[in-house]
Each structure stands twice: as C-alpha cells, then as structure tokens.
Amino acid sequence: MIKILKSYSVLSSTVANIIKRQLKKHPLSKLGLPTGDTPLGMYSELVKEELDWSHAITFNLDVYLMNVDHPESYQSYMRKNLFDRTNIYPDHTHFPFRPTSAFEDKITESMGIDLCILGIGTNGHIAFNEPGTSFKSRTRVVDLSEQTIQDNSRFFGSVDDTPKQAITMGLGTIMESKKIILIANGDHKLNILNVAMNGEVTEDVPASILQTHNNVEVYYCD
C-alpha cells in the first residue's frame, strides 16, 4: 500500500502531477489541502507551471486558533505557498471556521471533496485529529496534544508561543473524500506510517482509518 519514492523531489512532483491531472481533467475539482513541511515541495512544483485554478475550490484541513494574519497561520502559509501564486479566486478557498457545522455545510453544498491530500503527524494524526479521536468525528475545535505542540513549536520559536487549539476537519469528514493521498517524508515518519497502514485499524492511530477507504494512495520517501 505504501509507495516508496527515491527522493523528496520525486515525491513532490509525483503528487503535484496527480493534482495537475485532476485540475486539467476536472477544472471544477474540490481539493482538500494540508499545510506543514511535507507538502511544501508539492506546492512549489504546482506553481512552476501555469495551471488554471479559476474553477477550483479548496478546503484546508485545519487551522490554528490564532490571528489569521500571523505569518505562521495556515491562512498565511497557503497564501504564500499556493494561492497568491495561482489564479484561484480567494472566495473559492475555504478554511475551517466556526460554527464548524457551517464549514461542513460548505463542503456538502459543493458536492464533497474530490481529492484530499494529507500529511501524517508522528503520533499518527491526520489533519489535527489526535490519537483517540472518533472515526466518526466531524469538523470541530480541538486541543492539540503535547506531542503536536512540541512538533509545531519549531515554527513558533518556543512551546509557549505555539497555538494550543485548532479547528480541524473530522475523520468522518475526511473519509468522505472521493480520493485520498497521504504523503510522508523522513525516517521519523516511517514507523508511524507502517503502523497506520499495516497495523490494526484503531482510533489510537487516527491515520489507520485510511485502510478502510477504497481510494487511497500513500507516498513515502526517507
């Protein structure tokens, strides 16, 4: 199930090519998009080519509960790495918001996510669904785990300055995507990826739910 690629640049271009094909074939596609380190190469591949994003609609997986104009907010990340470098309409780009049921309604009104790209946390989280999250969960406000706060503190300089809460799509929400691609990079992700994809399907390992989706691809490079 896990496809091992020989370098980060191959991983990035492989997944960017899947998104390009999707947008060329179905310009009205709805994409689920992640932030973090792993997709940075994918986004830089995507903006190298002039691609028509004018009909695309995006739903980000998660946001920190913080000032959206902070340079480390996920809104800033997406503007910098993708949106400001394409012709996507800002009002076609969606981030989880409160009331979270209204965000869910937006996904439903747009007829659901066609292609959802995911990263994975070292504790097996996808989006910000931490271990123990119900497989049926929907978009909601969550407290981040100690591990995730620690992992994310590299972006904020210290644990104290790192956001402690987020709004995340739920596992049930993500699983309704028609196609899902999970990407992971680095030795520190190999063990959890293996546990998630080949181990028991359990709420203790949120990403393990992907084993039950009928259209998932997983790409890894060390």
As annotated, the active-site residues are 62, 123, 125, 130
**Min dist. Cβ of residue 49 to ligand F6R (A):** 23
Structure-token pair, residue 15:
């997944």
**Min dist. Cβ of residue 205 to ligand F6R (A):** 13
Among residues 28 and 122, whose Cβ is nearest to ligand F6R? 122
**Min dist. Cβ of residue 121 to ligand F6R (A):** 4
**Interface with ligand F6R (CB under 6 A):** 34-38, 61-62, 119-121, 125-127
Among residues 55 and 202, whose Cβ is nearest to ligand F6R? 202
**Min dist. Cβ of residue 133 to ligand F6R (A):** 12
> What is the 3-class SS of the chain, one letter each residue?
CEEECCCHHHHHHHHHHHHHHHHHHCCCCEEEECCCCCCHHHHHHHCCCCCCCCCCEEEECEEECCCCCCCCCHHHHHHHHCHHHCCCCHHHEECCCCCHHHHHHHHHHCCCCCEEEECCCCCCCECCECCCCCCCCCCEEEECCHHHHHHHHHHHCCCCCCCCEEEECCHHHHHCCCEEEEEEECHHHHHHHHHHHHCCCCCCCHHHHHHHCCCEEEEEEC
Closest residue to ligand F6R, judged by C-beta, is: 119
Structure-token pair, residue 77:
């990340």
